[in-house]
Structures are given as C-alpha cells and as structure tokens.
Amino acid sequence: DAMVIQNPRYQVTQFGKPVTLSCSQTLNHNVMYWYQQKSSQAPKLLFHYYDKDFNNEADTPDNFQSRRPNTSFCFLDIRSPGLGDAAMYLCATSTAGNLDTEAFFGQGTRLTVV
C-alpha cells in the first residue's frame, strides 16, 4: 500500500516554464519534506512543512516554492526551471518528537528540463 505518493513519476518541462510536482500521503504525518537528488548524489533538503509552518533551507534558491493546502497534500513549484534543476525530486513525511520512527519517502518525480 503506497503511503507517500508522488505524481507524476516523470515530468518533462521547458526551460523557464513553471512546473508543479505533487505529493500526497496517507500516514497523517505532520511533517512533509521536499528533497532534490541529482545524479549520483545524496538527497538535499529543500524545505519542509511542520504542520502549516513553512521552513526553507538557507541555500534553497528562490526559484523553488512550496504549498501545503492540507495535511495530506504538498506541492513543489519551480517558477522558472533551468537546466540545472533537472533532478529527481523526493517527497517525504515524518512525525515529530518521536525517536523511534523514520522518514517515509515517495517514489520520486524525475524532472527533465528541455
């Protein structure tokens, strides 16, 4: 049973054309994350939502934005994709304050910029 679902699995967008990636969860976790993973690299945290509170990482470009309309859904908006934004984008969820748990990841969306 899929618990963190990302759509689409593959997305092709044009240089400079806004694109939105989506993520939904059935775990009712209060924290949702977006990671960027470039080829052969570690996933890099872009930002997270703790309930409705948005938390940006210091080095995340302004080109990346996020929305969380409710507990279950979270979106990643790339306002003007550049060639360097081609990557796998991973959505994850977790609870907070519980030591005996972990982050749950979706299958990722692979973004190609042409």
Partner 1 sequence: GNSVTQMEGPVTLSEEAFLTINCTYTATGYPSLFWYVQYPGEGLQLLLKATKADDKGSNKGFEATYRKETTSFHLEKGSVQVSDSAVYFCALSLTGGFKTIFGAGTRLFVKA
Residue 94 interacting with partner 1 (CB under 8 A):
yes
CB 94 within 8 A of CB 33: yes
Residue 106 interacting with partner 1 (CB under 8 A):
yes
The 46-85 site mask, x for binding partner 1 (CB under 8 A), equals --x-------------------------------------
Give me the residues paired with residue 24 across strands.
Answer: 5, 73
Rounded to whole angstroms, how far apart are CA atoms 9 and 3?
Answer: 15
CB 94 within 8 A of CB 101: yes
Positive/negative CA dihedral, 46, 72, 6, 66: negative
- Smallest distance, partner 1 to C-beta of residue 33, A: 8
- Smallest distance, partner 1 to C-beta of residue 88, A: 8
- Considering the complex, state which of residue 15 and residue 51 has its C-beta at the smaller distance from partner 1: 51
First to last CA, the chain: 34
Among 7, 26, 41, 80, binds partner 1 (CB under 8 A): 41
Residues that bind partner 1 (CB under 8 A): 4, 6, 31, 33, 40-43, 45, 48, 90, 92, 94-108, 110
